[in-house]
Chains A and B, each alone.
Chain A
Amino acid sequence: SQQGEEDPQALSIQEGENATMNCSYKTSINNLQWYRQNSGRGLVHLILIRSNEREKHSGRLRVTLDTSKKSSSLLITASRAADTASYFCATGYGGSQGNLIFGKGTKLSVKP
């Protein structure tokens, strides 16, 4: 399966702490994306990193990509209770594969 795998499956931290989630995948990708899902809602696109990029920032989010290890990490700095959600990585492969493949997600709980 080409599906990415997030690690850990669940993460519980205190407000103000940093949260790190990891994603591993199996075959070469064109891009990797991170999404957030609040309970019972649709997904929201957070950030896209292309295979020739190593790091991207967006506000309190920092994403790294290591294509040699086939892995990515999402760091949320100074977390807030409102960051409580599930976070999914999705991999894009290009060519005839015209869609993203989503992992099973990391459930983040930020306690006030």
Chain B
Amino acid sequence: DGGITQSPKYLFRKEGQNVTLSCEQNLNHDAMYWYRQDPGQGLRLIYYSQIVNDFQKGDIAEGYSVSREKKESFPLTVTSAQKNPTAFYLCASSLDFNYGYTFGSGTRLTVV
């Protein structure tokens, strides 16, 4: 079945550590996106990529980095520069913004 997979489901980060969240899709979608969701809030865009080897900063890119070496994969690294990383992270993909997004099931990141 086609879909988008995020892993891990839960992730704990110590202060000063970098962590990487995985996002893989087998939908043959060109565009992929990372959003952050805080409790009771909407989604805020971190990074998006419309094509392999190209990506754009979203509204809250500081403290995060991404790569898009393969069409299927769009990993997000939360660096130690991100001072408040505890949140629910959602990855999505689509043909482009003119079509509906398919979302993964999310990764909940907690700083310990």
Contacts and interface: CB of A to CB of B under 8 A. Distances in A.
Contacts of B35: 102
A100 B42 contact: no
Interface of A: 3, 30-31, 33, 35, 40-45, 48, 88, 90, 92, 94, 97-105
A31 B50 contact: no
Interface of B: 6, 31, 33, 35, 40-43, 45, 48, 50, 56, 58, 88, 90, 92, 96-106, 108
Nearest to B44: A102
B98 A30 contact: yes
A36 B88 CA distance: 16
Contacts, number: 64
A103 B41 CA distance: 8
B98 A43 contact: no
Contacts of B100: 33, 45, 48
B71 to A, nearest CB: 16
Contacts of B88: 40
B43 A98 contact: no
A30 to B, nearest CB: 7
A45 B105 contact: no
Contacts of B104: 42
